Structure 1
Amino acid sequence: MHVSVVGNQDDSVVVTVRGHLDVDNATVLTTTLEQVLDRPAPRVVVDLSGVEFCDSIGLSTFVVGHNRAVADGGWLRLASPPEFLEHLLDTVGLAQRLGVYATVGDALMGRQEL
């Protein structure tokens, strides 16, 4: 798995995830989210367009990040999930709870969740 971070001029951050997000490598994303969420009112979009697989540990990482962001007055939004991941998030009830957006741009603007 590969994770990259890009900061924006408005202090929002886009975290891009590529590859398999599972028990073997979720700590990479967890560590990255801990770093970008360590600020007042964090605003984070996780770009999922390159995720090829996600297990329950990956899903848990999204929930923990979301809860931390909200507790600190910010948000964590998911963007561009592949079809399998969009279906998984919907099936387990996380799509409505976390906010899933069609594109990174939509997530940054808070426009129309999937």
Structure 2
Amino acid sequence: MTDYRCDVAVLRLSGELDSDTATSLHDLLADLLERTVPRIVVDMTDLKFCDSVRLSAFVTAKQVISARGGWLSFAGPNRFLAELLETIGLSRYFAIFPEVDDAIAAAQI
């Protein structure tokens, strides 16, 4: 589900991101990438699991977004996801915030 606040798309993920949900994630990201200057916060608060292959979709999306002057950040990852992001080095590539509001506020500065 996606909602918009302050011209920022908040992509709310829940459950598990794995091979069964890959198509849905791809479709959601494709829609968001159609915006002129994509500004996206991925809300991971209700996301229980994400495999590393699905995380690569965010890396690809960020490359497109950055080239168009936008940004993509993560908010609210659980301990497992935060450790996964750290282990595979994505915590240096993406801004990660404890809450969606924190990510939006940082973008307004």
**Which of 97, 106, 109 pairs up with 2:105?**
109
Taking structure 2 as the reference length, the TM-score comes to 0.91
Distance 1:11 1:75 in 2: 12
| Matching residue's letter, 2:62 | H
Q: Report the secondary structure of 2:34's partner residue.
A: coil
Distance 2:44 2:16 in 1: 11
Q: Report the secondary structure of 1:40's partner residue.
A: coil
- After superposition, the CA RMSD in angstroms is 1.2
Match of 2:52 in 1: 56
Any conservation in 2 of the 1:26–1:57 contact (CA below 8 Å)?
Answer: no
Match of 1:89 in 2: 85
Distance 1:73 1:23 in 2: 30
Distance 1:95 1:46 in 2: 14
Match of 1:23 in 2: 19
Q: Report the secondary structure of 1:89's partner residue.
A: helix
Match of 1:5 in 2: 2
**Aligned-pair CA distance for 1:21:** 0.4
Q: Report the secondary structure of 1:95's partner residue.
A: coil
Match of 2:41 in 1: 45
Q: Report the secondary structure of 1:36's partner residue.
A: helix
**Aligned-pair CA distance for 1:36:** 1.1
Distance 2:39 2:24 in 1: 19
What is the number of residues matched between the two proteins? 107
Distance 2:27 2:46 in 1: 19
Cα deviation, 1:3-58, whole Å, max 9, x if unaligned, reads: x00012x3211000000101221221121111012111110000001111111222
